[in-house]
Structure 1
């Protein structure tokens, strides 16, 4: 069979019925009665042994030279006993999967998987970072096409602004999405695993916290401050119980076991996603009695002033501390550090202190042991810490109602 020329292809005229012009090597130009021309490849289906045609593309979108190249590729495939039409179906399915599994679409699957593993506030913050810094450049790109240079380009403006901690956190989140894609079988490996090494490192700044000897200044400033009773009770509650700001702010009355003097925080409210039981000192019980007339008939112990059906903002302690002169010196989270430092200096068992702070033990055996035995060992520790806070309030009246003699 003589090879077709480019001129023959371009000048092929329509007839009453469709016809084909052969180019050799099982390649044909299909000319329809409408005048439309397209390339076809003839082969024998491996499954049936019957001859059939498969389309390669229309002319002139696909030139004669390009059609011949495609035909050569298909001859190799047929020689290996593979049906070109099945290859085409697989390619279409793969393309459809790629188009559906964009970086943002996979991120939505990843964030849904995280729902019961981290707190709603953390979940919201993580998603917001991806919305602001990852999705604008990467959101619509198929997960299979994401590369390290793309991710670096998305984060580079943040580095230029000096937002190095944001760069670090966003890169970590992007890596989590890509690792999820690997585990879900969408990609073979994570191309972003090393991108954090490209950026400048943020200077490590330790959490602001007061020294043990500054406890008196803090407690007396709280006692003298003109602030809402709910806020004042909340600050002392978090200080006495050594909990995280959101754990304290969202405390509910049904979490309190008055008879056993325990605060039982359910797993879904804890950072480590495990129940945390806190022995309540007499001072803690006094705080509850103080706030009971305000919120005893409501769900939350520390209700929001604007909407009592909701709990107060966990940031309210930070705002209050700033107003009474502790801005830049400590934070709500820093109250935990103050407790930890004081208790360690007093020689309390470090494991008991860590259990009181609800820090997870990485040793599985020790972790199980701690959960079963440390509750009773924490009672005297919590009582000592509350007594220390009470003593620090000498010369004032703390919210618990303990009045001490004026220091001379």
Structure 2
């Protein structure tokens, strides 16, 4: 390694750009190395062919042992190559060098961390991660987990079996979906896209990958999935809302909250007053009753809060917000309530002599409607999944 202690220079962007290889001062190995006076440890290396690159040389505190007095000693010298210049500029190189030197002063070797991160990335094949995803994410949270596992196993796993996660690109996803559409399996393609969106969001959260390849993916050729339900039109939604106003407590307000927030039926049906945070305008659904391993926070708009404030107050031990038994148990009888809701909506349509007819839908379709409206507003799949 060159003796960098005798060759120092205060780097500037223009100076680095103009610097040329000088064989008169170059060491025997042929590579000229100059240290930055303003950033200790930062090195600029210039080869005989004129290629320039930044690196940082450092020693990790503690690697050299401990003195009898308890002082940590620095170990041997390490080097991390930061990159060639250009494109790496001097400002960025100094910032990275300082971060590495700071970590070394705290006993951390960034080089080892980078090696470990690289090792993990290369171990994260789709096949191995797929098994974790099913066991840790899908089985505990979805009763029909076997369907999710089957769809991905049949239509995705054969293509990406040993492929590393960080190598999967949007083009790879399109290739799978193109094949399904060509075979006339548009509904299956829609399912595959939905499950892959959840898979990659899960992988991002666990830092198994740095970028989400499905983020922003658009497929106008994928047909709607009947099992996933349908989105109600604005006109339909207006009549359903007015019908809910007529129903009154408990189902009228409950249906309105489902429309406004897009949450699952039982997220509101089993809600308790203590889960409403009026100060922060949020519903805090605990892990004990939510399909996840962490609490789910639902931001509440002023319209939602207005609906909640009109609901009769509950007092312990009667602490279910929506109940037909004085709050002792959560509300039930959704089928009859849904039928009454639709009947009221049809009556309103007939009274106003509209040609509109309320098509078949489920309460779950309020969630589908919410996601569709969010998509129309330009929110990407990751945000829509987080909301729902």
Normalised-by-shorter TM-score class: 0.3 to 0.5
What is the TM-score normalised by the length of structure 2?
Answer: 0.36
Question: Counting helix residues as a fraction of each chain, which structure ranks higher?
Answer: 1
What is the TM-score normalised by the length of structure 1?
Answer: 0.35
Higher alpha-carbon Rg: 1
